[in-house]
Structure formats: C-alpha cells, structure tokens
Chain A
Amino acid sequence: MPDTQPILSLKAVRKMFGPQAAVDSIDLDIAEGEFFTIVGPSGSGKTTMLRMLAGMDTPTSGDILLRGERINDIPANKRPTCMVFQSLALFPHRTVGQNIEFPLKIRGEAPERRKARALQLMDLLRLPQSYYGKNVLKCSGGERQRVALARALAYDPQILFFDEPLSAIDYKLRKTLEKELKDIHRETRKTFVYITHSLEEAMVMSDRIGVMRAGRLVQVGTPQQIYSTPNTRFVSEFVGDVNVLPVSIGHDGKLHDATTGLHLKAPPIPRDFVQGHMVIRPEFLRFLESPEQADNAVSGRLYNEYALGSRIQYQVRVGDSVFVVEKLRQQPFTGRLDDEVIIGWDARDAILVTD
C-alpha cells in the first residue's frame, strides 16, 4: 500500500436487509489509480457493496470515505463516481452518440462540445465514428459494452465501478474485452473497482483482489498472493480445482491425514494450528515410480482423464477420495485407465489452511 491517502476507504461498513447482514463490517482501502476487483460467489454481498460505493444504497452503519471525506449520504447523482451496470443499462431510445453524451447533456454542455467528446471517446474505445447515429439496440454485445464504458467515461468520474459487465458475453469475446479493459485502465489512469464471480477474470485484470464470502472480505491481496497463498480453504477452492486433505496435529506434534492417520510432511506449521486442511494444486502433484521420489505419496487407480486446452487433468481414486493431477499437454502421462499409479507432492508445494 503506498503511503499516500487512499482514494476510497471503507470503515466497518455494514448493510442489513432485515435481520440479515448482506455486507458485514468491511474495512478496505483502495489506492488512487488502482484496478481493484472484488470476487465472490453470487449472494456474497458484492453487488450490495458496489451499490453502496456508487451511492445507490446507503450503509446501515460504518463510513465510506472518498479522499478522506465521508460520502455515505451523498446520492449517486452527486458523487464523482460512475458505474457500468451488469445489464449495461444503455438507454434503448437513444443512439450510440446520445448515450455517450448523456452525462454531458445533463451537465448542460454545448452540443458541439458534447459531440467532440463523444467522438473522442469512441476513438479511445475503438468504436467506428459512423456508429455515432446508430441505434444502440442494433449494436452487438461487444459494441454495447464499449458504449456503456464510453458513457461512464464521459461523466469523467474519479472512480469507475463495474458490476459484472462481462458476465453475459461469450468466452472468446470476454477474453478480448478483459484485456481491452485493462488497456483502458492504463490509458485513463483512473481508479477501477470491478466485481465478478470469476477469479480467472479478476486475475487477468486486477492490481489487487478482494475475495468476499457471506458479506465479509476473506482475503485481500495481489493476484499472485491470492493464487499461491490462499488463507482459507474457501479462497483456495475459488481459484480452481484443488486437492484438499483434512489434516490435524497428532499427539506426537506432527501433522497427520485426518482420515487415514498417515503422517504427512508439511511446510512450516503455524503456531496455533490444531486442525484444518492441506491444499495441493493439481499441477504440483506428480506421477511417481516409487513413493520415495516425493515428500508425500499415495497410491491409487487412474480413473479418467480430461483434456483442458493446454493441460490434461487426471483423476486418481485413492480409497474413497479423489485426487486431481494436471500435466502439460506436451508431457502427458503414459499410463492407462484403471492402472495402479503412485502420486506424490513435496512439502513446499502444500498450503495449510484453517478454514
């Protein structure tokens, strides 16, 4: 965190819907110019949180500060922030140009200046100038996306909020737009606050990520931190397929598999750790010839394999549990289905989590 004042601060922000807390005691600082993404499953409170930040909902308690000023009670139309909606909320009765110019018109700017600015923004977003008079309903999904972003930029906000704007778009176009959005962030140097349920999407674009669960922020960190050192089982599983073993500290003070009782070699164990889970990512599991080739090893039966683009995933059944192993497509495992196999991993690749 740079030592300058954060552009946006949340202090114990909470939002109640009846007896239910949709957002519960959130503390968070977002730095000027940052691309910050909030990730969480549906119902985790991320949309409620964004609506409070944008001024469309007010917190039940706690404070929201913009450059140190409390903005809790400032309505959305008076806040120097702007949101790109999930549905995009383009005005269907207006053309592309009129949509982009909307905030300028509201502000009472002269038509020529509005048009000039709209065309400039269309350039920035790679929308052809000929689209100026086009009906927004006749635009494709990706074009609408760009119009919505241009409209928000025309407001010239200090912070831009995004409410899962890419969720309804097909995979390939989404990948392109994710990169474009990051480019736009770089060019405009504005603060972006983005919410999504896809950690993969967050990883591509963000400077920092906050993972939300049941109204609380579980972990905040860079994509690298979230990926390699998740602090809970929830965060580790959010990243993708992982192997999770229930573990506990035995009478001998060592770590044991909670179901089989087998001793496991582990990374340094946190001081107050009593029981929890050991998380191993599938790419850190290896097929072995003998158990001694890795710190920890188990044997099981190769049950099935799945091609995942650049990688191949193998499912190995060990007793009642299932392990997933991933290898690069160029170096596939040569075993056959139903073969007895040994898989193993090193202590340094395992992560211990409590939750």
Chain B
Amino acid sequence: METRGQRTRHALITVWTLAVIVFLYLPTICIALASLTASRYFQFPISKWGLDWWAKTFNSIEIRQLLSTSITIALCVTVIAVVIAFFGALAFARYDWKGRSVYQKLILLPIFFPQSVLGLALLLWFSTLGLPLSWKTAVFAHLVWIVPVVTLVISIQVYSFDPALEEAAFDLGATRWQVLREVTLPVLFPGLFSGALFAFLLSWGNFPLSLFTTGADTTVPEYLYAKMVAGYTPGVPVLGTVSTIGATILLIGGYGLILAMRRAKTQDETGRT
C-alpha cells in the first residue's frame, strides 16, 4: 500500500498508544513514590526517602485483618462464580435452546448497571430479608456483578469449543460425567482459568458494591477510601502499592501460565507429526 503514508500513520499510532499507557500508569507511579516517603506529609520532589511506612503498615493488626477479609471474600467469589458461570457459559455459547438470545442479553444487564446503585439496591434487599451485613453478604453482592462477567469470559472459550468432541467421547462409550471430566473441562480449562483470575481480581479491587454490603467488616478498598476522605496518611499509598503489585503479579503469573500451557500443547502437537 502507500508505504510512506502508512509508515507515518503507524508511527503516530504507536506514539499515541505509548502516551495512553503512560497516562494509565501515571497515578500508580505517583502512589508508589508517595509510599516511599519518610515524612508524614506528601511533598514533591520527595526530600526524605524511606521504607518506614511500609514497616508500620505491615505491623498493624488492623491492616492484616483487612487483607484477610479481602482475600476471603475474593476466594469465595472466585470459587462460586466459576462454578455458576461455567454452566452459564455453556448455556450462553454451547447449546442452542429456545430462550437463548433473551438469556444472552439479560445476563448482560448487571454488567451494564451502575454499581453504586446496585450496591444500594442490595443493601435494601438484605435489610428487607433481615440478613445481617457482613463479609458474607458482600460475597453475594460481588457475585451479582462478577458472575455475568465471568460467564462472558468463559463463553469466549466455549465458542471455539467443537461440540463434535463431546459427541465423539459419547460415541466411544463415555458417560455424561466422564465426558465432562475427560473432554469438556480440560478443553475449556484456559477459559475457566482466566475466568477465575477475573473473578478474584475484580472482587479484590471492588469498592462500590463492598461499600454498602460489608457491614462491620472492611475490605482494603473501603479502608483506603475512608482514609482518603478523612485526610492523608502514608499508609494509603503503601497499601495501594501493595494492592497494585499483588494484582500485577497475579495477572502476569496467570497469563504466563496460560502461555506456557499453550506452548506445551503446540510442542506436543509438533512432536507428534
């Protein structure tokens, strides 16, 4: 094609994309810088560097409690969401059934719904049912939003699943359960894995739903919000940085695992031919 014009255009797009990435990471960098300040108040350029606030934050029992609440919620959400969404995704993408196209759209509604309003609606609903608010109600609240998201994530994998594989397994004498265990689950595993990753991380970072549904328990994002509104303390950047690094490691690790699995599989295939 028009090679020169194309080259300029591609260069512009590259520069623009890199600028957007810088924009995306700028605040995270600011937070990391702030966490490394030794003084009580944040001032830039930083005059005194130090890890004091990291030590203080990690020695605090309150913070450990926060982390454990957040992790408990995220783990529960992950397990329940993946199980429900696995079947949800089969209904979404694998089977042809009567209500499917309506079902596909209805399942999107919670994703397209303002989360703060959803949180309040759930608060009202829990109080109507007389349920005491705790981390357990928060798990439920997170699931309302996360189950549809995970269903979509798994569905994308299910779309590329060839139903003939299941039929072949049946034909070779497998029971329904054996087909699920030996064929369907292993083939869909990458989708389930990324679904689980999404579930964990989205729950870990969620604020609007937690705000109204955790009751006396507090998650990390809630704590940070409370501290932010109340005034500056260097514990906020520290915890924020921890949260960011944790999410990054989990995501890159998970992604690396999927890549490694895929590579092992293709090597298997090339080895055979």
Contacts and interface: CB of A to CB of B under 8 A. Distances in A.
Interface residues of B, number: 3
Interface in B68-116: none
Nearest to B2: A75
B164 interface: no
Shortest beta-carbon contacts, A-B, top 5: A75-B2, A75-B1, A56-B1, A58-B3, A76-B1
Interface string B213-254: 000000000000000000000000000000000000000000
Contacts of A58: 3
Interface in B1-19: 1-3
A84 to B, nearest CB: 19
What secondary structure prevails in chain A residues at the interface with B?
loop
A257 to B, nearest CB: 35
Contacts of B1: 56, 75-76
A75 B1 CA distance: 5
5 contacts: A56-B1, A58-B3, A75-B1, A75-B2, A76-B1
Interface in A32-80: 56, 58, 75-76
Contacts of A75: 1-2
Nearest to A55: B1
Contacts of B3: 58
A56 B2 CA distance: 9
Residue of A58, A75, A76 with most chain B CB atoms under a 10 A cut-off:
A75
Nearest to A56: B1
A78 B3 CA distance: 14
Contacts of A76: 1
Contacts of A56: 1
Nearest to B3: A58
B7 to A, nearest CB: 13
Contacts of B2: 75
Nearest to B4: A73
A330 B157 CA distance: 56
B148 to A, nearest CB: 29
A289 B1 CA distance: 65
A75 B2 CA distance: 6
Interface in B147-175: none
Interface in A138-163: none
Interface string A81-97: 00000000000000000
A56 B3 CA distance: 10
B208 to A, nearest CB: 38
B5 to A, nearest CB: 9
A76 B1 CA distance: 7
Nearest to A76: B1
Nearest to A73: B3
Interface string A207-236: 000000000000000000000000000000
B15 to A, nearest CB: 24
A58 B2 CA distance: 10
Nearest to B5: A75
